Structure 1
Amino acid sequence: MTAQNSATRPTTIAVGGLRGRFANRSVSSGTLLASLGVIAFSLTFPGTAWGLESFGPWSLVALRSVLAALTAGAFLLAVRVPLPGREHWAGLAVVAAGVVVGFPLLTTLALQTSTTSHAAVVVGLLPLTTAVVSSLRTGARPSRRFWGAAVAGAVVVLGFTLAQSGGALSAGDGFLFAALLVCAAGYTEGARLARVMAGWQVVGWALVLCLPLSVAGSVLGLAYEPVHLTAHGLVGLVWVAVGSTFFGLYVWYRGMAEIGPARASQLQLAQPLLTLIWSVALLGEHLTPAAPVAACAVLVCITVTQRVK
């Protein structure tokens, strides 16, 4: 070994070690951020149930969107994010219709007649629904094992809902299944836009895009729906607006950017089970034996879809 090689080798090892440390630190940071997002999402249904103690469903959804849009708008202005190009506004409208308006409204309407634990199991099918919509949108062709797991998960959720509702789907179940479809469309379009702009900016601009509609909805909702302010109601409103809608999506997209969608999606598998825990701890709901069993079965099906292509 020459003197020059002897001198450069320690330097190379040192640089490689620093890169490894930074990479591990990035993975740890990304995992923490994505985990915070999952925790925030898991509290959405309990927060909505609390919000319904003070506001009607239409008022709650509209006010939630207004507060989230104002928060997002202030953040976009603070970091001086430029306006998206015209070619992106149609996609942002799909995100807004699915994630900002459709999913919150439909799940809020469902929670008027469904428990949060019941809704958590049904909406636990969202990753599978998103995968199906994404494959149709992008033309991707997952394997037969993927589709087998997806169908199995759908059968588990359908069987659970039929058993819980006496053999027939309720209106609340209809709202939940519709929420799955519109949210999956919004997620799919958001993922496409996230290739050309930061994911949190996609959510931020979608919220801002809905602000005029949200303000109008708030005025009409507050005029026609009764308001009974309670501490639970106000906390629920603030949480679903700032906690779930803005903070949750912000840290989720930041974490996903650092550790990748595949690893982040593994963390999201815990979301339905966390919601079941919150429904008992915060709302005092009593779980039927079928709820955790169905949630675990759906988790297994989703895990299979994450491990196959």
Structure 2
Amino acid sequence: MSLIAAEKTATGKNATDKNAAENETATERPAPASNHRGAGLGVLLALLATVVWSGSFVATRDMADSIPPVQAVFWRWIIALLAVAPFAARPLWRQRALIRRHLGFVALASLFGVALYNTLVHQAGLTTSAGNMGMIMAASPVIMAGYARLGGERLGARRLLGLLTAVLGVLLLVGKGSPTSDFTPGDLWMFAAALSFATYSALLKRKPAELDGLAFLLTTFVLGALMLAPAYAISLTVQGGFPVTAGTVGPLLYVGVFSSAVAFFAWNRAIALIGAARAGVVYYLQPVCVALLSALLLGERLGLAGAGCMVLILGGVALSSARQRGR
């Protein structure tokens, strides 16, 4: 018995020494490269979503004269959920109990990110230009950073400086060289949309880690469409339907498949990897993308002042996105 006890004691001591050595090695070991790759992927996904959403403002403005806003948004999400369902139906069914447990959170995300945000964007498209829509939406990263700060996240001097630089560039771009501008009703609708989108992005930080991204996405699409259904029925009764032509179906397919299914999945994943505040900095590229698309598709000239504003925006994004040394 004493020999067995001694062997157990020695075995336990060896295991303890081994664990201590492993802990010491882990402490000295540098951060894994996968963290850096994850951050890089997060930035790329945020950039993908930003570029796709930039094109959606052109499509939304194009639909404004032919499709009532609520009807456009409703069909946008019907198309989006049909596009996502083949990939998300199985994880959604597998996690149905988890989704029921967090239904309040998912419904809140659906309200701000699906139903409210996009309705405000389409409403804004009635009385403002696609360029202004994209530029004003660049206000949302400021709100995201504010939410992050309220949540206890330290932004750091470099990120704050980059944030302020990008804000100045956006203000000058909207004001055509002046930090002030006369806003139309559509511009004010877009500011409300920016607040709604920033709130949605802040909510994503609280998404349960075990909740599958595709299952979450499909659930928000379904709930968002259900929230919009009563308003859609009223709009259909009062305003009538819209003509089904290539000019209406084409933009709807773009905003439904790319701007909704693809871009929202990329944005949600980006926030999971790099956080809402850092993803919001990448979102500052949207005015640049919108301006370039407007020049390419609509023949609008940017001008020297606009080019200078873009330099400020790009510089601010680069400064805020750079990783701090030792992090």
CA drift of 1:179 comes to 1.3
Once residues 86 and 164 of structure 1 are traced to their aligned partners in structure 2, the CA distance between those partners, rounded to angstroms, is 50
- The match for 1:101 is 115
- Look up the SS of the partner of 1:210 in the other structure: helix
Contact 2:89 2:215 in 1 (8 A): no
Once residues 106 and 280 of structure 1 are traced to their aligned partners in structure 2, the CA distance between those partners, rounded to angstroms, is 25
- The match for 2:223 is 209
- The match for 1:281 is 296
2:52 to 40, 65, 71: 40
- Look up the SS of the partner of 2:263 in the other structure: helix
Q: Does 1:56 align with 2:68?
A: yes
Higher relative contact order (CA 8 A, sep 6+): 1
Post-superposition Cα deviations, 1:215-249, rounded to whole Å, max 9, x if no partner, equal 33332223333524442321111111121111222
Once residues 50 and 137 of structure 2 are traced to their aligned partners in structure 1, the CA distance between those partners, rounded to angstroms, is 14
- Look up the SS of the partner of 2:57 in the other structure: helix
- Look up the SS of the partner of 2:216 in the other structure: helix
Once residues 296 and 90 of structure 2 are traced to their aligned partners in structure 1, the CA distance between those partners, rounded to angstroms, is 37
Q: Does 1:232 align with 2:247?
A: yes
CA drift of 1:189 comes to 0.6
Distance 1:115 1:201, change over 3 A: same
Counterpart of 1:51, as a letter, is M
2:201 to 158, 183, 187: 187
Distance 1:56 1:295, change over 3 A: farther
1:66 to 61, 66, 78: 78
- The match for 2:145 is 131
Contact 2:112 2:199 in 1 (8 A): yes
TM-score (structure 1 length as normaliser): 0.75
Contact 1:98 1:182 in 2 (8 A): yes
Contact 1:64 1:241 in 2 (8 A): yes
- The match for 1:12 is none
Greater C-alpha radius of gyration: 2
Count of aligned positions: 288
Once residues 34 and 162 of structure 1 are traced to their aligned partners in structure 2, the CA distance between those partners, rounded to angstroms, is 26
Once residues 288 and 107 of structure 1 are traced to their aligned partners in structure 2, the CA distance between those partners, rounded to angstroms, is 26
- Look up the SS of the partner of 2:209 in the other structure: coil
Distance 1:33 1:123, change over 3 A: closer
- The match for 2:5 is none
TM-score (structure 2 length as normaliser): 0.72
Distance 1:23 1:93, change over 3 A: closer
Post-superposition Cα deviations, 1:249-290, rounded to whole Å, max 9, x if no partner, equal 224445676x75599777655443222222233344444554
Q: Return 5+ residue gaps in structure 2 as ranges.
A: 1-31
The share of aligned pairs that are identical, in percent, is 23
- Look up the SS of the partner of 1:92 in the other structure: helix
Distance 1:236 1:194, change over 3 A: farther
CA drift of 1:57 comes to 1.6
Counterpart of 1:174, as a letter, is L
